[in-house]
Amino acid sequence: MKTNLLDFDLAGLTAYFAQIGEKPFRAKQVMRWMHHFGIADFDEMTDIAKSLREKLKAQAGVAVPRELIGQISEDGTRKWLLDVGTGNGIETVFIPEDDRGTLCISSQVGCALECTFCSTGRQGFNRNLSVAEIVGQLWWANKSLGRDPKGDRIISNVVMMGMGEPLANFDNVVTALNIMLDDHAYGLSRRRVTLSTSGLVPAMDRLREACPVALAVSLHAPNDALRDEIVPINKKYPLKDLMAACQRYLEMAPRDFVTFEYVMLDGVNDSLEHARQLIALTQDVPCKFNLIPFNPFPNSGYQRSSNDNIRRFRDTLIEASYIVTTRKTRGDDIDAACGQLAGQVQDKTKRQVRRLVEIKP
C-alpha cells in the first residue's frame, strides 16, 4: 500500500523524506503544496524536480477522504459529509460568524464513552479516524470555502467537537493538531484551536505536554452522582480529579481559562441548585461556561430545558461573575450542534440542512 503523506506532520514527513534519501527542505515544500495550497497531485507541485515527483508517485499519495455531499444553509453554515469507508460518513460543520469562521471536526467514527444524551455515544464505537481523515476535513473545507477578498483563509478557528472523543484517539489527534498549527500547513493560532473532551484526565495531562491548545471540558453535571449517570467516564475520573486536571492544564495552556460545556437537560441538571453547586465546584478553576440547549434525537429520553430555565440558570452564573455563552438553536429544522452528529451515510443524506447560531447574552 502507498504511504499517505497526509498522515504526517512536519517531523513525520521529514523522517519519511530522509528514509527515501531526500533532504529535509523537500518535506517543507510538499507540506506547503498539500496543506497551504490544497494540492493532491504531485504533478502540480511545480518546484519539485520531475525525478522526485516520479519517485513519490511510485510509493506515496495524498489521499483525502472522498466528499459525499456538501450542503449550505441560508445563514452560511455549511456541512460536508466525507466518506471514511465501510458505509460510514463523518460530518464536518463550518459556522461563519462576524469575527471568525469556525470549523467543527470529528475525531472518531462513533464514540465508546456512552454519554446518555449524545447520539454519537448511542451509536457505539466504530473506529478511530486516521490523521489524514482528521486533517482531511480541514483540507476539504478550506478547498471549498476558498479565501476572502484580502486573500486570507476563511477558517480562522477549529473546534474538535464533532463525532468522537478526541483524547481517546490521542496520537492521531496530536499529529493532526501539529499540522493545523504548522506555518507550512494551516498556520492556525493555538488559541484558536479548541479540543473538547469529556474528561480523560491522564490524556489531558499528556496533551498539556504534547500540544497545548485551548481546552473545552464537557461538564454537564455539578456533582459526581449525577455525572456518573450521564457522563459515565466520570466513574473513572471523578470531578475532583477533573477540576485538578483543568488547573494543571492551565499552567501550560495558550488561554487562561477552560470552557466548560453544559448541556441543558430539562429536569435533569438545570435547577438553580445545580447552578449553585456548579459555582462551588468550579470556584478555583478560571473558566467560562457554554450552555448548550439539548438537541433532541429519536428515543433519547431527554427534553431540552425551557428557555426560561436556561435564562435563570445563566443569570445565576453571571451573578457569580462567570462569563456565559448560550448556544442557541432556532426552529425545528435546526440541530447541527457538534457532538450529536451521526455517522451513517443513509441517515445523513435524508437529513435536512440545519443551522446553528451562537449568541452571547
Question: Does 200 sit near ligand SF4 (CB under 6 A)?
Answer: no
The nearest distance, CB 106 to ligand SF4, in angstroms, is: 9
Q: Which of 204, 339, 348, 355 binds ligand SAH (CB under 6 A)?
A: 339
Query: Scanning residues 120 to 149, which ones bind ligand SF4 (CB under 6 A)?
Result: 120-121
Nearest to ligand SF4 of 14, 102 (CB atom): 102
Query: Which one, of 356, 326, 330, 328, lies nearest residue 341 by Cα?
Result: 356
Question: Does 164 sit near ligand SF4 (CB under 6 A)?
Answer: yes
Query: Which one, of 65, 302, 329, lies nearest residue 176 by Cα?
Result: 65
Question: Does 115 sit near ligand SF4 (CB under 6 A)?
Answer: yes
Got the DSSP string for 8-20? --HHHHHHHHHHT
Question: Does 6 sit near ligand SAH (CB under 6 A)?
Answer: no
Question: Does 292 sit near ligand SAH (CB under 6 A)?
Answer: yes
| Spatial CB neighbours of 261, under 8 Å, sequence gap ≥ 6 | 196, 216, 217, 218, 219, 220, 290, 292
Q: Which of 48, 56, 84, 111 binds ligand SF4 (CB under 6 A)?
A: 111
CA dihedral 212, 214, 218, 222 (to 10 degrees): 100
Q: Where are the alpha helices (DSSP H) in 48-146?
A: 50-59, 119-123, 131-145
Q: Which of 137, 142, 194, 198 binds ligand SF4 (CB under 6 A)?
A: 198
Amino acid of residue 328: K
Query: In this chain, which residue has its C-beta nearest to ligand SAH?
Result: 339
Nearest to ligand SF4 of 196, 316 (CB atom): 196
The nearest distance, CB 230 to ligand SAH, in angstroms, is: 9
Nearest to ligand SAH of 35, 304 (CB atom): 304
Residue 343 sits at φ, ψ, to 5 deg, of: -115, -15
Question: Does 165 sit near ligand SAH (CB under 6 A)?
Answer: yes
- Which of 91, 133, 165, 261 is catalytic? The answer is 91
Query: Scanning residues 37 to 76, which ones bind ligand SAH (CB under 6 A)?
Result: none
| Spatial CB neighbours of 80, under 8 Å, sequence gap ≥ 6 | 67, 69, 70, 71, 91, 92, 137, 140, 141, 144
Query: Each residue of 13-35: b (16+ CB within 10 Å) or e?
Result: bbebbeeeebeeebbbbbbbbbb
Question: Does 269 sit near ligand SAH (CB under 6 A)?
Answer: no
CB atoms under 10 Å from CB of 293, counted, come to 21
- Which of 104, 118, 211, 338 is catalytic? The answer is 338
Largest separation between any pair of C-alpha atoms in the chain: 69
Question: Does 165 sit near ligand SF4 (CB under 6 A)?
Answer: yes
Q: Where are the alpha helices (DSSP H) in the chain?
A: 10-19, 24-31, 50-59, 119-123, 131-145, 170-181, 201-210, 224-230, 239-250, 272-281, 307-319, 345-350
Rounded Cα distance, 273 and 68, in Å: 46
**Please, are residues 117 and 300 in contact by the beta-carbon 8 Å criterion?**
yes
Nearest to ligand SF4 of 14, 106 (CB atom): 106
Question: Does 126 sit near ligand SAH (CB under 6 A)?
Answer: no
Question: Does 118 sit near ligand SF4 (CB under 6 A)?
Answer: yes
Q: Which does 326 bind (CB under 5 to 8 A by kind): ligand SF4, ligand SAH, none?
A: none
Query: In this chain, which residue has its C-beta nearest to ligand SF4?
Result: 121
Rounded Cα distance, 286 and 322, in Å: 9
Question: Does 196 sit near ligand SAH (CB under 6 A)?
Answer: yes
Rounded Cα distance, 342 and 120, in Å: 6
Q: Is 91 a catalytic residue?
A: yes
Query: Scanning residues 324 to 343, which ones bind ligand SF4 (CB under 6 A)?
Result: 339
Question: Does 91 sit near ligand SF4 (CB under 6 A)?
Answer: no
Q: Which of 56, 118, 158, 253 binds ligand SAH (CB under 6 A)?
A: 118
Residues lying near ligand SAH in the complex (CB under 6 A): 115, 117-119, 161, 165, 196-198, 218, 261, 263, 292, 294-295, 337-340
Residues designated as active site: 91, 338
Residues lying near ligand SF4 in the complex (CB under 6 A): 111, 113-115, 118, 120-121, 164-165, 198, 218, 339
